[in-house]
Amino acid sequence: MKVTRGMQRRTAKLARRSEIVTSETLIAGVDLAKKESVVVFVRASDKARLGHIRISTDEPGLRELLRQADSLLGAHGLSRLVVAMEATGNLWKIAARACTNLEIAYVIVQSFVLSRAREFDDLTRDKTDRRDAGLIADLAADRRFTDVQLERGPWAQLRMYADGRDHLRVRRSADLQEQRALLELVWPELLKRLPDLQGAHLQATLRLGRSPLEIAGLSRSRFVRLLRREQQERRFLELVAGRIWEAAAETQPCDELDAAVLRLQCAAQRVRASDAAIAAYDRRLVSTFQTTGLGWMQGQLRGLGDVALASIMGLAGDIRRLDDGGCVVKLAGSNPTERSSGETIVQVGIHRRGRPTLRTFAWQAATNLIRHNPDFRARYVALTAREKRPLGKRQAQLAVANKLLRVLWAMAVTGQPYSSELANHGRLRQEVAA
């Protein structure tokens, strides 16, 4: 019987999880919420419920959890505590950070698995906080959790810069609770100075071009004035183009045209200032990436800029922790969905269950590589021009983006510079396996 590499990786993964959750482990299943979270204590050996409490979603709440767990450990003869939680927005990062500070082991249960566990439990979709906390603990006892851990050091800072660059460029709106949780995680000193600050101000603080410590050092009135000024400048920039076109279309006196030209100059200065702020942010992003030890990867791929590389690596985290290049593709959620049975093999669509921002950056980078890199352009042409089941343009572009992610993983793991021969003949995975 042949034992494949996939079987070996799965066996190693289950062995790692068995070391985390043993028969003598007390599991604290936590159903996270914005203010108060419900905790259910479960014995891993037989999934017996030993009690439940409510705690605040912060470090003092985790201290209360630890105090209750110590009494249960002694009463039932258990040796260690493991906190299990669901990956809910960014709230899990706050709890994970508190667990790290208190030196408590924690594991993450996927939301999709928890949703299915509700139906398997009693064939209903009933949802309560206590039930979810117990199911999270049961899944942890069955070793159905991920190996996700909160990133620290330069990778955590790089991830924050990459996320911030996306907000700075795209200015997309997000859930207020998630933004508030992100502020509590990365800028706690800001919330201590401005306790009534809402999560919606996260993008505004990024647009001010100041560091978190500088923002925290501002007085309340000064901070509000800066936000109002930035908002007024944005409104002016949106209206000035239309006014200038109106002034040019209508034959108006010269002094009014001069005023329109002056407004155009002001708008141009605003654009230059915004570009300068983004350029400074990009330099900070690239310099942070160089501290991770993978700065040598810059300039290896023609058509992939340093900022794009740092953004992709920052959003993916330290990809050297992953077992295979395909894991990076799954992390981005761009892996094809397969519907196969017997001799029929069909791939339809992509999962879209990964990190959407990482998928977007990889897509944008693939567009540039197809134009400027002969290796990736040849791959794109081969996929669109093959005889059997040729791919469409967007499908081929996504396949090139997936190839980019696999190549970056192979370079990071092996420490070898980019090789056109290895990339074209698919030997990167063989080099890593050897």
Picking from 237, 229, 299, the residue whose alpha carbon sits closest to that of residue 263 is: 237
Domains of the chain: 19-141 (3.30.420.40), 154-289 (no CATH), 295-433 (no CATH)
pLDDT tens-digit profile of 289-345? 888 888 899 988 988 988 889 889 988 888 888 888 888 998 898 888 877 666 666
Band (pLDDT 50/70/90 cuts) for residue 271 is low
Helix, strand, coil fractions of the chain, as percent rounded to 5: 65, 10, 25
Picking from 325, 311, 354, the residue whose alpha carbon sits closest to that of residue 423 is: 325
pLDDT tens-digit profile of 60-94? 899 999 999 999 999 999 989 999 999 877 778 88
pLDDT at 285: 82
Tokens for 219, please give them. 């007085």
Mean pLDDT of the chain, nearest integer: 78
In this prediction, what percent of the chain has a pLDDT beyond 70?
69
Burial class (CB in 10 A: 0-12, 13-18, 19+), 68: middle
Is residue 434's pLDDT more than 50? no
Band (pLDDT 50/70/90 cuts) for residue 168 is very low
Higher pLDDT, 265 or 162: 162
When pLDDT is averaged across residues 347-365 and rounded to a whole number, the result is 83
pLDDT at 123: 77
CA angle in degrees (0–180, nearest 5) for 36-52-120: 95
pLDDT at 252: 45
Residues in the chain: 434
Distance in angstroms (rounded) separating the CA atoms of residues 236 and 276: 19
b/e map 304-336, b = 16+ CB within 10 Å: bebbbbbbbbbbbbbbeebbbbebbbbbbebbb
pLDDT at 206: 53
pLDDT tens-digit profile of 3-25? 887 788 888 888 888 899 998 99
pLDDT at 147: 79
Is residue 151's pLDDT more than 60? yes
When pLDDT is averaged across residues 404-423 and rounded to a whole number, the result is 88
Higher pLDDT, 344 or 110: 110
Picking from 179, 168, 174, 172, the residue whose alpha carbon sits closest to that of residue 207 is: 168
When pLDDT is averaged across residues 416-432 and rounded to a whole number, the result is 65
pLDDT at 432: 43
Q: Give the chain's radius of gyration (CA, Å).
A: 26
In this prediction, what percent of the chain has a pLDDT beyond 90?
26
pLDDT tens-digit profile of 114-149? 888 888 887 777 888 899 999 999 999 999 998 777
Q: Which of 205-214, 229-238, 309-318, 373-382 has the lowest mean pLDDT?
A: 205-214
Is residue 162's pLDDT more than 90? no
Higher pLDDT, 394 or 206: 394
Amino acid present at 312: I
pLDDT at 172: 37
pLDDT at 403: 93
Q: Are strands 49-56 and 105-109 parallel, antiparallel or unpaired?
A: unpaired
pLDDT at 187: 60
pLDDT tens-digit profile of 217-269? 677 677 777 767 766 666 655 555 445 445 444 444 445 445 555 555 565 56
Band (pLDDT 50/70/90 cuts) for residue 431 is very low
Picking from 352, 353, 329, the residue whose alpha carbon sits closest to that of residue 408 is: 329
pLDDT at 84: 94
When pLDDT is averaged across residues 104-110 and rounded to a whole number, the result is 92
